Structure 1
Amino acid sequence: MTDTKDALLDAAMMHVPFDGWSETTLRAAARDAEVPLEQARALFPRGAVDMALAFHKRGDDQMAAALRDEPLEDMRFRDRVARAVRLRIEVIDDKEAVRRGTTLFALPQHAADGTKALWATADRIWRELGDSSDDINWYTKRATLSGVYGSTVLYWLGNDSLGAQDTWAFLDRRIDDVMRIEKVKSAVNANPLTRTLFAGPNWLASKVRAPGDMSGYPGRWTDG
């Protein structure tokens, strides 16, 4: 089943730059991969939308495999996150397929799918880096990283610098912005005055828990 999906995705790459993630691409991929159209539709029930999502997930899988070969123990944590995001972009072998996917998921009827795909990428990165948070930090980490990854991809799509160096510099700036926010949060919690001012919101936040299956949302409320 997975091999057939991969064969269809590989075949689609020749058509996406011209026809986008569309019914035309799905039909052409099925023809080129010699897969019955009925089987292709069974694998991608919503047609090209599901095909685009499968392409995105395959990129997540490739990133995770590449990340496991990285000497992460020698890196600062912020550098591990930056490396993971960079790897996620570097495994993409067809920029136009991503550009077309960005256009597809910008449509109102597919915006939720695009948001979910971004969240899944951020979640995968955090899980691969060993994140074990089970409170509101589970959400803030993924929400923040979704923003970093999404903005970096958009920058990369419009960037033609040698070796995408401008993109990686942009990524480093976004990571640094996040680290500054984390420093401010730590300073607020360390200050007796601001800690008292935020006691209510902090108590409320402490009741939030990550999803039971650690793969989605919403979280859960605890009385403890």
Structure 2
Amino acid sequence: MTDAQTETDEARRARLLQAALPNVAFEGWSANLLPRAAEATGIDMAEARRLFPRGAVDLAVAHHESGDAAMVAKLKAADLTAMRFRDRVAFALRARIEAIGDKEAARRASALFALPTHAPEGARLIWRTADLIWDTLGDPSEDLNWYTKRATLSAVWASVLLFWLGDDSWEAQATDAFIDRRIDDVMRIETMKARVNEAPLLKPFTGPLSRLTAMIRRPRPVSGPGGLPGRWTPGA
């Protein structure tokens, strides 16, 4: 067999993505991106279409997913045991920013996924990043907290990404400070929620509500890491 015949789909996808990235800064995630990448790599266009059926949209998704994978690898390699949990989340967000590499590609992807036709895909990718962070950090949630943690972190990650795209400070120091502020905001909200739930005068109201929310369970099975609520693996 030739090397082309033994090359995996994953390897071909990676080659096409790497060939496409230099052109993103000039023309965005456009329809011309995949044909140019196929020509540059010597991969047949029909094969490129099989690997990326939606063309540039799937290339942008692959770019996002490669950043998620790099973040997870860094989290698993790091010793986080001495960190407070809030600092572990901050570390994960910083690792995800570092994994982007090409800011212009991320900027163009944000514009792409802001379009109405691609907004659901963009929301799925944001949720997937938040879900991967919680899963990698060992979140044990099984009830409503599974949803609220991911929804909250999705909002934090989206705001951090947008802030970073406009950050021209030295080594993104302003983004580092922004991450700390956002997590501090979340921790204050969680502290307030705990106080409300424990307040004796509010027990007649919070008690039944807590029992009701405890009946809500995380979706099972989730369609792989980053699966959205309500999405099941076929045949599972």
Kindly state the Cα deviation for residue 210 of structure 1 after the two structures are TM-superposed.
0.6
1:2 aligned onto 2:10: yes
TM-score (norm 2): 0.90
Letter in 1 for 2:74: A
User: Any idea what SS the aligned residue of 1:185 has?
Assistant: helix
Provide the residue aligned with 2:77 in structure 1. Answer: 69
Q: How many pairs are equivalent?
A: 219
Letter in 2 for 1:196: P
Kindly state the Cα deviation for residue 179 of structure 1 after the two structures are TM-superposed.
0.4
Kindly state the Cα deviation for residue 201 of structure 1 after the two structures are TM-superposed.
3.2
Provide the residue aligned with 1:112 in structure 2. Answer: 120
Mapped to 1, the partners of 2:19 and 2:203 lie a distance apart of: 56
Mapped to 2, the partners of 1:79 and 1:209 lie a distance apart of: 27
TM-score (norm 1): 0.94
1:46 aligned onto 2:54: yes
Kindly state the Cα deviation for residue 166 of structure 1 after the two structures are TM-superposed.
0.3
> Within 5 A, what are the aligned runs for 1:27-176?
27-176=35-184
**Cα-to-partner distance string for 1:101-134 (whole Å, 9 max, x where unaligned):** 0000000010000000000000000000001211
Mapped to 2, the partners of 1:38 and 1:87 lie a distance apart of: 36
User: Any idea what SS the aligned residue of 1:14 has?
Assistant: helix
> Where does the alignment leave 5 or more consecutive residues of structure 2 unmatched?
1-8, 232-236
Mapped to 2, the partners of 1:45 and 1:2 lie a distance apart of: 14
User: Any idea what SS the aligned residue of 1:109 has?
Assistant: coil
Mapped to 1, the partners of 2:29 and 2:208 lie a distance apart of: 47
1:11 aligned onto 2:19: yes
1:188 aligned onto 2:216: no
1:218 aligned onto 2:230: yes
1:209 aligned onto 2:191: no
Mapped to 2, the partners of 1:168 and 1:34 lie a distance apart of: 41
**Cα-to-partner distance string for 1:12-52 (whole Å, 9 max, x where unaligned):** 11111111112111111111121111111111111111111
> Where does the alignment leave 5 or more consecutive residues of structure 1 unmatched?
220-224
Mapped to 2, the partners of 1:160 and 1:112 lie a distance apart of: 29
Identical amino acids, percent of aligned pairs: 51
Letter in 2 for 1:148: V
Higher mean displacement: 181-190 or 169-178: 181-190
Kindly state the Cα deviation for residue 202 of structure 1 after the two structures are TM-superposed.
2.5
Mapped to 2, the partners of 1:66 and 1:123 lie a distance apart of: 16
